[in-house]
Chains A and B, each alone.
Chain A
């Protein structure tokens, strides 16, 4: 059974700092990995999708990497802003096409 872990559960950083959010998964047989953002009481916004054959994806200040063999992914946020404050979830799509989520990392960027 696939398990996705995101540690720490919460993170607080000053504005302008570059930061890395970590995600690990137990079963490397995945189709892809997605990073999502969730604001309080809202749905999920897809940030980046990395296919199993890819190593990284970039969008603006965000860069996500994938090391499938070691079961790890990182989301790098450059020059963090207060508007980046949210919960960030990673999820992997397994061979059964189902998505398994981590519990998320709640990020707070202090002005």
Chain B
């Protein structure tokens, strides 16, 4: 299957700082990428849909200014958690669909964010 790479896999930061997480499609182009958040023993919650060359679409309740998404190319989307607080600590996972695919989603390895 297609490969989606996320970096960093783990990050620890101080409260008030910003953290950037990268999501790359390694062997395919993705016009659309999705960012999810997962709390312990919970399912994945869709945060936003990242669209190449245009603004991201955020789900209800997700702060746009808090979670900045940029999809500057067909292989890279970034999520920046701005002014991070301890409650932002979570597991963030991105996914992407292969262009002209039947809709199968491929996921990155996830990024564990811990805000002290």
Q: Could you say which residues of chain B place their CB within 8 Å of the CB of A32?
A: 102-104
* Residue numbers in A under 8 Å from B112 (CB-CB): 41
B44 touches A101 (CB 8 A): yes
**Cβ-defined contact, B103 with A42, below 8 A:** no
| Given A44-B93, A46-B1, A102:B43 Cβ within 8 A | yes
Q: Does A72 contact B (CB under 8 A)?
A: no
Interface size on A, residues (CB 8 A): 22
Contact B107 A44 (CB under 8 A): yes
| Interfacial residues of chain B within 73-116, with CB under 8 A of chain A in the complex | 91, 93, 95, 102-110, 112
Most A Cβ at <10 Å: residue of B46, B49, B104, B106:
B104
Which residue of chain B is the closest to A30 with respect to CB atoms? B103
Q: Does A34 interact with chain B (Cβ within 8 Å)?
A: yes
What are the residues of chain B within 8 A of A13 when measuring CB–CB?
Answer: none
